[in-house]
Amino acid sequence: MNTKTKQQKCVSGNFKRMNYFHGMLLTEQDFRDEQAYIREKLKLHNRLHGSGVVWGLCLVDKCIEITPQNEKITKIFIEPGLALDCSGNEIVVCHDFLVPIGDKVKKLKDCNQLSDPPPKLYIGIKYCECQSEPAEQLTAECDDDQLRPQFSRVREGFDVVILTEEEYYNCTNGLGEQNGKTHGCDCAGIPPCSEEE
């Protein structure tokens, strides 16, 4: 068998896909690479369309009954829909989502940043991932490693972001920071998504 690499005039790109063969030993890294290849190709295609709302995701206000005496309060919801972020990630909202505006107003009030008239707030949505579904680990890489449950899934989700005008300006002009690096499409201080259904 000839094990020499075939020489072809081909400049190496960033994408590598698995090339399976009979008798090949597969490791967890091979499966990660397979998923990464497919995901990154999909995200590359999605970037062709640009970031923004594909459909839905309208903001609507609804009167919600809050007491047995039929008192009602208006809340803001994001309707179901789909968006693409600047990295090509798909952001899917499956059902009406209550926007926690009260939390942002309380935070502004606590920091003495609540002015009269009230500040303009911007509502955004951000892609996030959460590890989920712990499963028993049956073997470890080394014999002396302790077996611990490992997360068996990565749940794709979203996080709602509420920004003041200043925060919005900093985010949209590439001043948001994450891990010490500047990213035009991320903002500092946005919490990770929750495990809520």
Per DSSP, the three-state class of 109 is helix
pLDDT score of 84 more than 90: yes
Q: What is the per-residue pLDDT across 13-54, written as a single tens digit (0 to 9) for each?
A: 788 898 999 999 999 999 999 999 999 999 999 999 999 999
Q: What is the per-residue pLDDT across 130-179, written as a single tens digit (0 to 9) for each?
A: 888 888 888 877 777 778 888 888 899 999 989 888 888 777 665 444 44
Which helix (H) or strand (E) segment holds residue 172: the answer is helix 165-172
Spatial separation of the C-alpha atoms in residues 155 and 165, rounded to whole Å: 31
Nearest-5° Cα angle at 57, 115 to 128: 85
Nearest-5° Cα angle at 128, 123 to 129: 160
185/107: higher pLDDT? 107
- Residue 46 φ/ψ, nearest 5 degrees: -60, -35
Which helix (H) or strand (E) segment holds residue 169: the answer is helix 165-172
**Per-residue b/e over 102-141, b at no fewer than 16 CB within 10 Å?**
eebeeebeeeeeeeeeebebebbbbbbebeeeeeeeeeee
Listed ranges 77-81, 113-117, 132-136, 187-191; the one with the highest mean pLDDT: 77-81
pLDDT score of 4 more than 80: no
pLDDT at 65: 72
pLDDT at 181: 42
Long-range contacts of 103-106 (CB under 8 A, 24+ apart): 103/162, 104/162
